[in-house]
Chains A and B, each alone.
Chain A
Amino acid sequence: MPRALWSGSLSFGLVNVPVRLVPATRDLGIHFHQLDGKSKARIEIRRVCAKEGKEVPWEDIAHGFDLGKRCVMLTDDELERLAPDKTRTIDVETFADRADVDPEQLDHPYFLVPAGGEGAARAYRLLADALDRDDRVAIGRFVLRTREYLVAISVRDGALALSTMLFADELRDPKDLGDARIMAADKPSRTAVDNAVKLVKALRTDFDPEAYDDRHRKRLKRLIAKKRKGGEIAAPPEPEVPEPAPDLLAALRESLRDAKKARA
Chain B
Amino acid sequence: MPRSMWNGALSIAGVHVPVKVFAATEPHTPRFRELHAADGAPIEHRRVSARTGREVPFDRIVKGYETSGGHYLVLTDEEIRAIEAPERKAIEVEDFVPAEQIDPVFYDRAYHLGAADEGRDGFAALLAALERTGLVGIGRVTLRSREQLVAIRAGDRVLRMSTMRFADELIAPAKLKLEEPKKAPSRREREMAAQLISGMKEEFDPAAFEDEYRKRVEDYARRKARGKAPELQPVPAPEETGDLLGALQASMDASRKRAA
- One digit per residue, 1 when the CB lies within 8 angstroms of any chain A CB and 0 when it does not, for chain B 225-251 equals 100000011111111111010011011
CB-defined contacts of B23 to chain A, threshold 8 Å:
172
CB-defined contacts of B203 to chain A, threshold 8 Å:
96, 100
Of listed A45, A100, A102, A126, residue having the most chain B CB within 10 A: A126
Q: A61-B36, A207-B102 are in contact. Are A255 and B13 (CB under 8 A)?
A: yes
- Residue B1 at the A interface, CB < 8 A? yes
CB-defined contacts of B174 to chain A, threshold 8 Å:
157
- A185's nearest neighbour on chain B, judged by CB, is B120
Are B238 and A8 in contact (CB-based, < 8 A)?
yes
The number of residues on chain A lying at the interface, defined by a beta carbon within 8 Å of a beta carbon of chain B, is 186
Q: A39-B51, A158-B178 are in contact. Are A100 and B34 (CB under 8 A)?
A: no
Are A50 and B170 in contact (CB-based, < 8 A)?
no
Are A122 and B183 in contact (CB-based, < 8 A)?
yes
* Residue in A17, A51, A177 whose beta carbon sits within 8 Å of that of B112 in the complex: A177
* Residue in A18, A103, A121, A176 whose beta carbon sits within 8 Å of that of B181 in the complex: A121
- One digit per residue, 1 when the CB lies within 8 angstroms of any chain A CB and 0 when it does not, for chain B 89-110 equals 1100111111001111111001
Are A51 and B41 in contact (CB-based, < 8 A)?
yes
Q: A24-B171, A95-B202, A136-B197 are in contact. Are A103 and B107 (CB under 8 A)?
A: yes
Are B35 and A73 in contact (CB-based, < 8 A)?
yes
Are B240 and A9 in contact (CB-based, < 8 A)?
yes
Are B33 and A64 in contact (CB-based, < 8 A)?
yes
Are B184 and A125 in contact (CB-based, < 8 A)?
yes
CB-defined contacts of A111 to chain B, threshold 8 Å:
171, 173, 176
Are B209 and A139 in contact (CB-based, < 8 A)?
yes
- A126's nearest neighbour on chain B, judged by CB, is B185
CB-defined contacts of A171 to chain B, threshold 8 Å:
24-25, 110, 206
Are B51 and A113 in contact (CB-based, < 8 A)?
no
CB-defined contacts of B140 to chain A, threshold 8 Å:
215
Are A79 and B217 in contact (CB-based, < 8 A)?
yes
Are B121 and A16 in contact (CB-based, < 8 A)?
no
Are A74 and B122 in contact (CB-based, < 8 A)?
no
- B114's nearest neighbour on chain A, judged by CB, is A180
The 7 closest A-B pairs by CB, nearest first: A13-B251, A180-B114, A236-B85, A148-B213, A64-B33, A81-B232, A196-B129
